[in-house]
Amino acid sequence: MDTAHIRNFCIIAHVDHGKSTLADRFLEMTGTVEKRHLKAQMLDMMDLERERGITIKLQPVRMQYRLQGKLFELNLIDTPGHVDFTYEVSRSLAAVEGAILLVDATQGIQAQTLANLYLAMEQNLTIIPVVNKIDLPAAQVDRSVNELVRLLGVKPEEVLKISGKTGLGAEALLSAVIERVPPPNPGKIPELRALIFDSKFDDYRGVIAYVRVVDGQVSAGQTVRFLATGKDSDIIEVGTFAPELKRGDLLTAGEIGYLATGLKHVADCRVGDTVTLRADQSPLPGYRQVKPMVFAGFFCREGDDYPHLRSALEKLALSDSALQYEPEHSPALGYGFRCGLLGLLHLEIVQERLRREYGQDVVVTVPSVAYQVVDTQGATTIIRSPQQLPSADRYQQVLEPVMRLDVVTPKEYLGGVMQMVSSRRGEYQTTEYLDDELAVLHYRIPLTQLLVDFYDKLKGISAGYASLNYEFDSYRPCEVVRLDIMVADDPEESLASLVYRDEAYEVGKRIVAKLKETIPKHQFVIKLQASVTGRVIAAERISALRKDVTVKLSGGDYTRKRKLLEKQKKGKKKMMAAGVGRVEVPAEAYLSVLKR
C-alpha cells in the first residue's frame, strides 16, 4: 500500500485506564475480527493477562479503515501500563509515528501517564490526548480535560472524549488518528532495512521476529542478514497481525509485520537488531539496553531439570527482552540461574510463565538489588546476591541503587504519603501541582525500599488514589549486613538477604516469626534462627508434633498417664540424639517472608 495511506500508532496510558478495551472497539469498528469471535481483551494473548486484567506484552494488529472514500491501513500496537513493563512501551514507540495518550476520566493523570508521555516525546511522536470512560457516573471529564490542556499546552477542543466500553467517540478518534498522525517516511534507500521490536519462538518456524520495515521490502524466500549477530537466514514466511499471525506475500516500507526466520537458536535474533539483505548496510538506531534492577535466584526443585530450565529461560528471554540471566551454583540449592528483572511484578510473571508455558516449578530466592562493593584496593565490583558480599575486613564501603520517585496523589493525602515515604528512607526533593487537586511529589529513595510492599502501602494510605513511577538515579553509600536464616540448624540460603545494619534485629525477628506461622510442625522441635556474622540475633522454636498417647485411658490413677507421657518423652529424646531430619520450607513461607 502507498505509504501516504499507512498510519502507525500505539495506545499509552496508566494501568487500567482502558487501553485494551479501546483496542477491542477499534477491532470491532474496523471489522478486523468478526463479531462472533470478539471477546474482552482481544489483544491480551496470554491467559495470565486475562486472569490479572493487565497487559504484559506489547501486541501489534493491522486494521483496514475507510475514511472519505479512501482506504487506510492502521497498524496499532497495544502496550502495557505497569512500571515494570515500561521497556515494552519504549520499544513500541520506536516503531510508530503517533500515540494516543489515554486518561481515565475518574482518576485523571497518573504517574505512568506522565512517564509514558515523556517516552513518547523523546521519540518526537504526535500525541493525541484522549479522556476515556466518560460514561461512568464518577467521571470528572472537565477536570481531566483541563489537566491534559495544562500538561500538553493544547486547546480544550483538541482533547477527545470517548468511552472505550460503549464505543462513544471511537470513530472520531480513528478519524483524528488518520488526520493528525503523519504517514511513515517513504524509504530513503531501495534496499531492505527493518527494525526488530519484538520476537517469539515457534517450534516449527523457529524464531518469529516482529519488525517495522523502514526501507525497501521483504518477501518469503529471501536470504536476510541480522547485522548485530551476523547470522544469515532464509525467510520462511512473512505476514501481518490480525491479531493472530496472518500470512502475506510482501512487507514494504512503513509497514509492521512479522518474519518467520527459521532460526533455531534464540540468541541469533535480538530485539533492536536490523534486518538487511547485505552485510555492509548501515544499521538502524536500536534500543537502549535495559538494566535490570532486581535480582533473584531461580533453582530447580529436581536436579535433573536444569537443562530444561535453561531451555525455558532462553525461549522466555526471546519474548521478554528485559529478562537477563546467568548460571549460578548454590551448595544448598544446586544449579540454577541468577535472573535480572525490572521489578517484583516482573519476577512474579516470569515465575508463573515458567510454570505454565514450560512446566518448570522453580524455587525462587529472596529478591535483592545490585550493590556496588568497593574493596580495600579501591576496585569496584557488583554483587547481585547476599552470598557474594565479602567479609567486612575485605571492603571499604557498599553502595546501593537510588531511584528517582514520582508520586501523583490528591492533595488531601499529601501528609500521609509524605510520612510513609520518609519512613522508607525517602529524601524529599520538590512538589509540583498539576491542578488545584492533584500534586506530584518528587523523592530520592533506595530501590530496596520499593521492592516489597511499597505500592500496597501507598494505595492503602491514599484510599487507592495515589500512583507512582520510578527510574534509576545513582548509587550512594549504605550500611548493610548479610542476614542468614537457619531452619533446624541448617542455613536456608534462599532466605538470606542484605539488610540495613540498624534494621537487622527487626527484620530477623519478623522473618523467624513469619516462618513459625507458615512451617508445619514435625516430629521434632524445629529451631528458627536469624544471625548476622555468625551471631544469633533473633530466634523462635516450633514445638514437636505430639501424639495424644493418653487418649485410650478413660480414667484410673494419674501414674498410668504419667508412665505413657514419660515413655513418649524418652522416644523424643532418642529421636533428637539420632539427628534432626531435613525441614522442607513451603512456598508460602517464602512469600510471607517477602511481605513486611
Same domain, 303 and 265: no
* CATH number of the domain that residue 537 is part of: 3.30.70.2570
Same domain, 89 and 50: yes
Which three cell numbers mark 244? 493472530
Number of Cβ within a 10 Å radius of residue 271: 23
Query: Number of folded domains in the chain?
Result: 5
Q: What is the DSSP string of 535-591?
A: EEEEEEEEPPP---TTTT--SS-HHHHHHHHHHHHHHHHHHHHH-PPPPPPPHHHHH
Q: E-strand spans in 110-216?
A: 126-132, 160-161, 193-202, 206-215
Same domain, 467 and 490: no
| Per-residue pLDDT reduced to its tens digit, 288-304 | 777 787 888 898 877 67
What pLDDT does 441 receive?
93
Separation CA 321–CA 339 (nearest Å) = 12
Give the rounded percent of residues in the chain with a pLDDT score beyond 70. Answer: 95
Separation CA 102–CA 311 (nearest Å) = 38
What pLDDT does 545 receive?
75
Is pLDDT of 578 > 60?
A: no
Same domain, 513 and 569: yes
Helix, strand, coil shares of the chain as percentages rounded to 5?
30, 35, 35
Number of Cβ within a 10 Å radius of residue 305: 19
Whether 23 is covered by a domain: the verdict is yes
Whether 147 is covered by a domain: the verdict is yes
Whether 463 is covered by a domain: the verdict is yes
What pLDDT does 176 receive?
93
Q: How far is CA 122 from the centre of its chain?
A: 22
* CATH number of the domain that residue 450 is part of: 3.30.70.240
| Per-residue pLDDT reduced to its tens digit, 97-130 | 999 999 999 988 888 888 889 889 988 999 999 9
Separation CA 72–CA 162 (nearest Å) = 22
Same domain, 304 and 410: no
Is pLDDT of 43 > 80?
A: no
| Per-residue pLDDT reduced to its tens digit, 129-182 | 999 999 999 999 999 999 999 889 899 999 999 998 898 999 999 999 999 999
Domain boundary among 365, 400, 422: 365
Is pLDDT of 266 > 90?
A: no
| Per-residue pLDDT reduced to its tens digit, 210-227 | 999 998 899 999 999 998
Same domain, 27 and 147: yes
Same domain, 241 and 321: no
Same domain, 330 and 401: no
Whether 373 is covered by a domain: the verdict is no
Mean pLDDT within 459-472: 83
Is pLDDT of 582 > 80?
A: no
For residue 375, give Cα distances in angstroms to 397, 483, 500: 7, 20, 19
Q: Taking each helix axis from N to C terminus, what angle separates 587-594 and 504-518, rounded to the nearest 10 degrees?
A: 150
154 CB contacts (<8 Å, ≥6 apart)? 129, 148
Whether 286 is covered by a domain: the verdict is no
Same domain, 586 and 490: yes
Higher pLDDT, 548 or 328: 328
Domain boundary among 365, 398, 428: 365
Q: Which domain holds residue 562?
A: 485-497+505-594
Q: CA 271, 276, 280, 284 torsion: positive or negative?
A: negative
* CATH number of the domain that residue 226 is part of: 2.40.30.10
Same domain, 473 and 489: no
Closest among 540, 489, 544 to 521, alpha carbons compared? 544
Question: What's the mean pLDDT when you consider all of the chain?
Answer: 86
Q: Phi, psi (5° rounding) for residue 389? A: -70, 120
pLDDT band at 364 (very low <50, low <70, confident <90, very high): confident
For residue 559, give Cα distances in angstroms to 76, 259, 555, 569: 83, 84, 11, 15
Among 54-68, 123-137, 465-479, 580-594, name the most confident range: 123-137
pLDDT band at 576 (very low <50, low <70, confident <90, very high): low
Is pLDDT of 330 > 70?
A: yes
Query: Quick check: pTM over 0.95?
Result: no
Is pLDDT of 318 > 90?
A: no
Cβ-count burial 450-473 (b if 16+ within 10 Å, e if not): bbbebbebbeebbeebbbbbbeee
Same domain, 311 and 248: no
Q: What is the DSSP string of 228-292?
A: TTTEEEE--EEEEESSSEEEESEEETT-EEEEE-----GGGS-TT-EEESSTTSPPPP--PPP--
Whether 163 is covered by a domain: the verdict is yes
What pLDDT does 465 receive?
79
Higher pLDDT, 51 or 11: 11
Mean pLDDT within 308-336: 84
* CATH number of the domain that residue 298 is part of: 3.30.70.870
Domain boundary among 317, 338, 365: 365
Please answer whether residues 109 and 136 qualify as being in contact, where contact means their C-beta atoms are separated by less than 8 angstroms. Answer: no
| Per-residue pLDDT reduced to its tens digit, 413-464 | 999 999 999 998 999 999 998 878 888 999 999 988 887 778 778 888 888 7
91 CB contacts (<8 Å, ≥6 apart)? 58, 197, 198, 271, 272, 287, 321
Is pLDDT of 79 > 70?
A: yes
Is pLDDT of 538 > 60?
A: yes
Q: Phi, psi (5° rounding) for residue 478? A: -150, 160
Whether 168 is covered by a domain: the verdict is yes
Mean pLDDT within 13-24: 87
Give the rounded percent of residues in the chain with a pLDDT score beyond 90. Answer: 33
Mean pLDDT within 572-591: 68
Closest among 279, 180, 261, 294 to 225, alpha carbons compared? 279
Is pLDDT of 37 > 90?
A: no
Same domain, 473 and 424: yes
- The region of weakest confidence among 202-216, 376-390, 560-574 is 560-574
Mean pLDDT within 234-241: 92
Is pLDDT of 332 > 80?
A: no
Whether 77 is covered by a domain: the verdict is yes
